A and B are shown apart, each in its own frame.
Chain A
Amino acid sequence: MLITRVKKKDAILSLCKGKTLLIACFGCKEVHFEEKEYQALKEDLKTSNLNISGEIQLDYLCNDDYTNKRFELHKKEIDEAETIIIFSCGVGVQTFAGLIPGKTVLSGCDTYVLPGFSGFTPSSHDCEQCGECMLGFTVGICPVTACSKGLLNGQCGGAKKGKCEVSKNKDCGWERIYNRMTVLKKDDLTLKKMIRVRNYNK
């Protein structure tokens, strides 16, 4: 079982640029979503002059095929937004970010692990429920799972021809992050300035 916690306003606000679309996944039985806190944050963001262009509520965002279909339905709103904040588990954010390589996608939640039954997330993306979601800084690609060493501060010296030192069949996660950052022409100062140490107590 997973649990998601809505991030604090300050953790999100500075990363948003321009028209911002909120997408919330009201999801699945396996993930507990803090609905009340989400509504409160939304009000808070509104009063902080964030330019919220719309809100979409979905479920099973983690499922590629399903999300792809819903994506078509909301294409206009998505195209118009400059920033998209996804309120879902880490898999949902990555699935969505994977569908729109040219847009800034932020994670609105932190995903934690709870002991017990774990849900089925039929997806090519992975989330280790680290409790401090970094997807908003790493252009929607999870460094904890996409990097073989789970490095939080950038690429190690082991990548060759885009592949990870562990296997020639595995793309280097940090090179993927870097490539997407280049596509987005994202000013990478936030990521460059921060030094992350993982909190294993979460």
Chain B
Amino acid sequence: MHFTELTKMGKFVITSELGPPKGFHIEKALHEAELVWPHVHAINVTDNQSSVMRLSGLAMCKVLKDKNIEPVFQVTCRDRNRLALQSDILSAALFGIDNLLLLTGDHTTLGDHKDAKPVFDLDSVSLAYMVKHLEEGKDLAGNALDGEPPKFCKGAVVSPCAEPLEPQLFKMEKKIKAGIQFFQTQAVYEADKFEKFMKRVKEFGVPVYVGIVVLKSVGMARFMNENVAGINVPDNIIEELKKDKEKTKSGQTGIEISARLIKELKPLCQGVHLMPLGWDDKVPEILKLSGIIAEKG
């Protein structure tokens, strides 16, 4: 069942995120997915995340699908032009992968192939518009597709704590116009800012699933504050991570912070999207501690 339907039924949607391996041995990634799956509605598969080359997200989604795990196929515009994007999205339809998260993607210079050509033939808005075309039975150039057109559940991202917020809202409206049906957000650590954001976007009537990145160390929090757009980890959280080094190292502090944030943010939005960045084994405990269960079916 699609998330948007779950949302319509009044269910709180829970998703997590998985990065494919650098290589073609997927056992570890699959094990992580199986660990998380009983606790979530779907698992996003990232697309060369942070411009670091990895196994294709489409292949990983297919593997999950074969194991009856519901994947969300993340698609960025960095590595493929409009022909390749349409091919891959049609291939996803063939495999029964029908949840998409459509993104612009990080610039190539941020990753591990800094000398690569950044494509950006399309961007998140025109990509959504392109998928809408496919759903109407034609490609972006207007040519008819053979047979029954595909049907997707289309998501995008938004950064609720970005400063300034206006350009993000501007783009969010454009995405909705291009057919986007749900939003997963950049990591949120500031409930007050998120509340303000939700007040602004309420009128759009599109479900928002709040992003949670599990904090692993003080260094990680500081790095994000310095370098990652739209993220600000407040001082009190950094202090909490500092206080008990062993506890932070074991992951317990990160778990507690995440669970607390989920509890606080849950009444404001329609779901939560966890980004454990390799700490997939911590997901069940975070969800248990925050008191939310993925009601399936």
Question: Interface residues, chain A, CB within 8 Å of chain B?
Answer: 148-161, 165-166, 174-175, 178, 182, 188, 192-193, 195-198, 200
Contact = CB atoms under 8 A, between A and B. Distances in A.
Contact of A155 (B106, B118, B130, B168): B168
Interface string B109-153: 110000000101111111001100000000010000000000000
B256 to A, nearest CB: 27
Contact of A149 (B118, B164, B168, B173): B118
B228 interface: yes
Contacts of A174: 167
B204 interface: no
A181 to B, nearest CB: 9
19 contacts: A148-B107, A149-B123, A151-B123, A153-B123, A153-B124, A156-B124, A157-B104, A158-B106, A160-B227, A160-B228, A160-B230, A161-B163, A165-B229, A174-B167, A178-B167, A192-B170, A193-B177, A196-B126, A197-B126
- List the 3 closest A-B pairs by CB distance, nearest first: A153-B125, A154-B171, A155-B167
Contact of A165 (B110, B125, B168): B110
Given A178-B166, A197-B122, A159 B171 contact: no
Contacts of B107: 148-149, 158, 165-166
A106 B62 CA distance: 49
A166 B105 CA distance: 12
Contacts of A151: 104, 120, 123
Contact of A198 (B121, B125, B157, B171): B121
Nearest to A160: B229
B248 interface: no
A-side interface mostly: loop
Given A154-B171, A193-B177, A149 B121 contact: no
A30 B6 CA distance: 60
Given A151-B104, A157-B104, A158-B106, A195 B227 contact: no
Nearest to A200: B121
Given A150-B120, A153-B171, A157-B104, 11 more contacts: A149-B123, A153-B174, A154-B123, A156-B104, A157-B168, A157-B186, A160-B229, A178-B167, A192-B174, A195-B125, A197-B129
B155 to A, nearest CB: 14
Nearest to A178: B167
Contacts of A197: 82, 122, 126, 129-130, 140
B51 to A, nearest CB: 10
Contacts of B177: 193, 195
Contact of A157 (B122, B129, B229): B229
Contact of A154 (B82, B121, B125, B186): B125
A149 B104 contact: yes
A157 B230 CA distance: 7
A137 to B, nearest CB: 13
A144 to B, nearest CB: 11
